[in-house]
Structure 1
Amino acid sequence: MPTRKASSSKNSTGRSGLFEQAAAEYESAMKLFAARRDWKAAAAKWEEFVERYAGEDAAAAMVDRARRHLAACRERIGEEGGADLDPLLRAVVLVNAGRLDEALEQVERALAAGADRGRAYYVRATALSLAGRYDEAAGALAEAIGADPEYRAYALGDPDFERFRETAAFAGVVDPPRSSDRPEAREEAADGTAGSTFGGESF
């Protein structure tokens, strides 16, 4: 039987309720994945999670990570000799385990191996943010957004960026400058050349 989408209960739970529900289910799956390393059970949980919350803005960042974890589980299930995960997936696992320095090392390996730049820099930004290295995290996030603008939306809702979002460094990367903040706009306003008027109309 297909899993019922969470949107059917939106009216009763609201956006915050949906996020809390998704976060609880995400944590449950994460225990199977990172702590118990029960790949088959974790894969089933991640599949259910992605099916239930795909398309829900409130859970977009978690769905993205769940897809990566699902790919990691499937790779593990299919392994015969216990080979390591690819560096980027291992970095995600290490971030969730709080082993941030090791995660950053794996991101470097992933980039050297030609991994997707947007994903790699987003994982790097996540690790740096959780380590409190916000200026460096901003640089990595800028790289991720430059490679794939969708990471701007992910960053705005990602629970791993909760403290990072309160910093000027984050705002400088994610918030686009207003037109009135452009240097040329301020110069035009100062010298009166922002527009000329002819016959009551501005040009």
Structure 2
Amino acid sequence: MDTQHVVAGAACAILSTLCLPSAAQAPAILEGDTRLACEAIMCLATSQRPHECNLAILRYLSIVGKKPGETVQARAAFLNKCPAGSQTPAMQSFVASIANGAGRCDAASINQANRETSPVEVGDGVRISISNVLPSYCDAYMNHAYTGGTIALPRYVGRQDRGGYWVEAAQYEQALSEYNHRIRQEDANALLSSGTQSLPTSRWQR
């Protein structure tokens, strides 16, 4: 399937609702949250967003509940104010994926959500690491047919057992270089501390 046509079809469905016929068949332009909801759906379908998207996205991101689940529900309710959001099963699933993913799938949010703890080998402490598995709600949103692969997925740098973490795609090369430098330093320090030259140097390969 041509993803450009899929995304274009979603945009057309939303655009068609921005100006609806009234009872007298005169165009009735959507306003307020209804219009912002439609604009938010279009704008959150891609990472290439013109400045005209700012107001709608700010309105969407301003919706925050006391718990993550409440935030998702409230954002979904806002997006569903757009008539196009419930027109087809495909649009319904897209709106749900946005509410679950948009605003929760940047690298910083994933690093926070993917924190894991495990016991250390010695003592009573715990080791904190960041899982290298992309959350399912991020995969559903960023790889939805209506995004057409236009949203850049954050990328994981390194290994989970060596302090790996998520970064935005545009920052990956620099972050990988810094990570490899840190690993080389850690391994060199371990060699000096152990007094042996048998410990291999680790390097994360792309």
Normalized per residue, which structure has more strand?
Answer: 2
TM-score above 0.5: no
TM-score (norm 1): 0.28
Bigger CA radius of gyration: 2
Which of structures 1 and 2 has the larger relative contact order (alpha carbons within 8 angstroms, sep 6+)? 2
Structure number having the greater helix percentage:
1
